[in-house]
Each structure stands twice: as structure tokens, then as C-alpha cells.
């Protein structure tokens, strides 16, 4: 099965295999900067980050490695959470409109830009993640109004959604949705109803945990089956001369033409392998076998 190597995000053409910066904080600084530069040199022009990764460290690394940013590079960030080292996962929700605005301002300052091309709102409508309660139970319309104001002010270019349910995605459509990020893999299809709405409206789909979550089962981000351990995936990879990870990523790309991947790594070899997943072509038979793994 053939797939295009590019798609359009917020009106800008991007390579369908991008890069996620979440794993960079805490790594060797020189190595992290080298990986970011290598990614862009290899054609990556979609980098996903957040001000609460580190906190601020991922954005600082991106700025040091790539500023002034090359033409065509689309930086995508996220709001709706904040750094909270006292919690199990180091994050707490920040869903109130004023917290969303503060998050955008933090991203702008850390990245050294006047506008972020896309900002994703991290909701709590769909698993996995922390469950909202108290003053963090915020109406979506109130959040979208704040983000729309920020867009009108020119501080963000477009609005995306993350961890969103089908009904909330439908609710947000009139505002304009640039992309949707939900947990999804060949073994975890719980987000398919959301993906179907994206298909209907041509919205880019950015699956996170496309190879399964590395978090333990009892955490706020419960683990899912590891795609790379599944015997069908392993067998197809062996037949193709690819890695199981590349097969899992290639399946996502073939599953929907507007899928954009943001695998993250601090390892140059893994980076190269991830980018090469965009060249892996699945036969109709392999595609059928993988489609049958829905869980």
C-alpha cells in the first residue's frame, strides 16, 4: 500500500513523519541539540512540544538548536497542563482560560517567537490521563473562546485538540480544528470514533502512543500492549526487512492519509529509523493482518 510522504497542517505542507520533543528533557544537552538539528536536516518540519516538558527545557532546547527557525518549520505546542513535580507523572491540569493564556505566553517566551503556528488544547475527555475535578472542570466553549481570542491577537495561528471525545470534537468544529491528538495504535483503537470525524472533515490526525504507552498500568497514563512485541507485527517486520516499530508507524500512516506522526527519541539511530518508517510500504495482505489486530 502506498502512502503520501506529506500532508497539510494549518495550511502548511509538512512531512508526515515529524518529531516529538517530550523525551528530550533530562537528556544530555549536546546530544539533544544534535538530534533536533539532525531531524530538520533530514526533512522533518513538524516539531511537537509543550511548555510543561521539563518544564521549559524542551522549548529551550528547540530554541537553542534551531533558532532562527528555518522557513517551513511548523512548531506545535500544547496547553492545558503545567509542571507539578510533586505528582506521580510530574504534571497537573491547567484548564482554566487564564491558565491556557499563561501557557501560550510561556511557550512564546521560551521558543522566542511572536506566534506559535498551532496550539493544542489538552482536554480530559478521553483516556489516558489525569481526570479533571473541581475548578479544572471547565466548559469547552469557554476554553475555545480564550484560544480564539489568542488567535485573533496573532499569538497562535491555529487551534488543535488533544485527548478529546467525539462529542467535544463535534462541538469544537465551528471554531476550526487544525489537528487532533489522541492515543491510538494498531492495538488500541478506542479513539476510532474521533478519527472517523477527522476523516469526515479532513482534519489531520496526530496519534500519541502509536507503539503503546511505556507508563505502568497503574499510572495516570496506563500502559497499553506494546506494538513492537506483537507476533504479527514482528513477523511482518521480518518479512519486510523493517523493524517492528517501523511497521507500527507505517500502519498508522496507511490507516488515514492525513495522519501525522511525532515519534520522539534522543537517539540518532532511532531518529533515522523513525523517519524511514515513512518509506515502509505494507502489502494489502500485511495491511489486512494488522487491521485485524484491533483491540
By annotation, the residues acting in catalysis are: 53
Q: Which of 181, 179, 55, 84 is nearest to 123 (CA)?
A: 181
Cell numbers given for 6: 506529506
| C-alpha dist (Å) from residue 76 to 225, 259, 283 | 27, 15, 32
Q: From CA 67, how far away is CA 64, in angstroms rounded?
A: 6
First to last CA, the chain: 22
- Give, in degrees to the nearest 5, the angle at Cα 245 between 124 and 83: 35
In 3-state terms, what secondary structure has residue 137?
Answer: coil
141/126 Cα distance (integer angstroms): 17
Amino acid at each position: 500500500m502506498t502512502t503520501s510522504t506529506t500532508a497539510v497542517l494549518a495550511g502548511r505542507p509538512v512531512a508526515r513523519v515529524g518529531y516529538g520533543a517530550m523525551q528530550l528533557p533530562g537528556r544530555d544537552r549536546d546530544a539533544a541539540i544534535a538530534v533536533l538539528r539532525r531531524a530538520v536536516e533530514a526533512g522533518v518540519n513538524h516539531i511537537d512540544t509543550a511548555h510543561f516538558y521539563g518544564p521549559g527545557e524542551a522549548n529551550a532546547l528547540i530554541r537553542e538548536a534551531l533558532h532562527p527557525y528555518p522557513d517551513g518549520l511548523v512548531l506545535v505546542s500544547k496547553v492545558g497542563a503545567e509542571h507539578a513535580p510533586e505528582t506521580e507523572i510530574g504534571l497537573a491540569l491547567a484548564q482554566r482560560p487564564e491558565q491556557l493564556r499563561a501557557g501560550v505566553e510561556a511557550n512564546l517566551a521560551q521558543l522566542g517567537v511572536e506566534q506559535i503556528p498551532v496550539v493544542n488544547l489538552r482536554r480530559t475527555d478521553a483516556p489516558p490521563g489525569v481526570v479533571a475535578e473541581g475548578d479544572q472542570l471547565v466548559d469547552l466553549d469557554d476554553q475555545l473562546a480564550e484560544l480564539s481570542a489568542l488567535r485573533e491577537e496573532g499569538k497562535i495561528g491555529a487551534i488543535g485538540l488533544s485527548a478529546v471525545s467525539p462529542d467535544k470534537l463535534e462541538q469544537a468544529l465551528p471554531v476550526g480544528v487544525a489537528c487532533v491528538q489522541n492515543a491510538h495504535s494498531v492495538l488500541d483503537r478506542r479513539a476510532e470514533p474521533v478519527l472517523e470525524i477527522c476523516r469526515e472533515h479532513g482534519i489531520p490526525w496526530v496519534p500519541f502512543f502509536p507503539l503503546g504507552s511505556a507508563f505502568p498500568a497503574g499510572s495516570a497514563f496506563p500502559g497499553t500492549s506494546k506494538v513492537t512485541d506483537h507476533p504479527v507485527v514482528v513477523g511482518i517486520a521480518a518479512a519486510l526487512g523493517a523493524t517492528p516499530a517501523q511497521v507500527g508507524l507505517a500502519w498508522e500512516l496507511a490507516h488515514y492519509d492525513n495522519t501525522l506522526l511525532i515519534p520522539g527519541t534522543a537517539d540518532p539511530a532511532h531518529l533515522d529509523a523513525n523517519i524511514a518508517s515513512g518509506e515502509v510500504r505494507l502489502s494489502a495482505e500485511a495491511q489486512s493482518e494488522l487491521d485485524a489486530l484491533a483491540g
